[in-house]
Chain A
Amino acid sequence: QKEVEQNSGPLSVPEGAIASLNCTYSDRVSQSFFWYRQYSGKSPELIMSIYSNGDKEDGRFTAQLNKASQYVSLLIRDSQPSDSATYLCAVNGPNSGYALNFGKGTSLLVTP
């Protein structure tokens, strides 16, 4: 079973700070990497996708991918209380038939 690992948290950051969320994956041939946000009792909502090494920025969010280290991260700048949620890392590739393999998620708490 190919694994996607995340620190469960909770990660607590003050409002306005940068939140850094990390994810490692074990399947070396993984091709696509996604960050989903999930509020309690709700469905996952896609916030970022990244496919090649380096950084990808979208508003306050930056995804970073390092395939050599099998590591993907999400930075949230100027964190807001509304960012408080569980952030799910998801990975797919040919070994999974392109089905998404999710990590257990990191709980983020942004305190006012």
Chain B
Amino acid sequence: EPEVTQTPSHQVTQMGQEVILRCVPISNHLYFYWYRQILGQKVEFLVSFYNNEISEKSEIFDDQFSVERPDGSNFTLKIRSTKLEDSAMYFCASSVGTENEKLFFGSGTQLSVL
């Protein structure tokens, strides 16, 4: 069964450093997402991406965040200057379409900012 793949599974970084989280969405999916979940809290939407551009973003997704689809398979989330409060599990997801379409989540990257 096709799945969304995320690397690395764990990332430890120092405050102020840049991190790049990587995702390979399901191959025939057209919409890509990043969500995050701080420990003990709800899953929060960060950004959606379609046709090589951001389609929606939340208030969390400020200038420190960026996304890119550098080739036909990878989808990345970059945090330019990490803060302690960026520590969370980051989930990539993809879907065939939007609106009523179902999201498939990757296994996540646990980011720890020290």
Size of the B side of the interface (Cβ < 8 Å), in residues, is 22
Nearest-neighbour CB distance to chain B for A33, whole angstroms, equals 10
Q: Scan B100-112; emit 1 where CB is below 8 A from any A CB, else 0.
A: 1011111110000
CB distance from A30 to the nearest CB of B (A): 11
Q: How many of A's residues come within 8 Å of B, CB to CB? A: 23
Contact among A34, A44, A96, A99 with B91 in the assembled complex (CB-CB below 8 Å)? A44
| Cβ–Cβ contact B42 & A44, under 8 A | no
Q: Is the CB of A99 within 8 A of B99?
A: no
Once A and B bind, how many residue pairs between them come within 8 Å at the CB atom?
53
Whether B43 sits at the interface, judged by CB under 8 Å, is: yes
Residues of A near B42 (CB, < 8 A) are: 88, 102-105
Of the candidates B58, B99, B105, B108, the one whose C-beta lies within 8 Å of that of A31 is: B99
The 8 A CB mask of A24-43 against B (1 = contact, 0 = none) is 00000001101000000011
Q: How far is the CB of B91 from chain A (nearest CB, A)?
A: 6
The reply to whether A98 and B56 form a contact with Cβ atoms under 8 Å apart is yes
- Residue of A whose beta carbon sits closest to that of B44: A102
Contacting pair B91 A97 (CB below 8 A)? no
5 contacts between A and B (CB under 8 A): A43-B106, A44-B105, A49-B100, A96-B56, A105-B42
B-contacting residues of A (Cβ < 8 Å)?
31-32, 34, 42-46, 49, 51, 88, 90, 92, 96-105
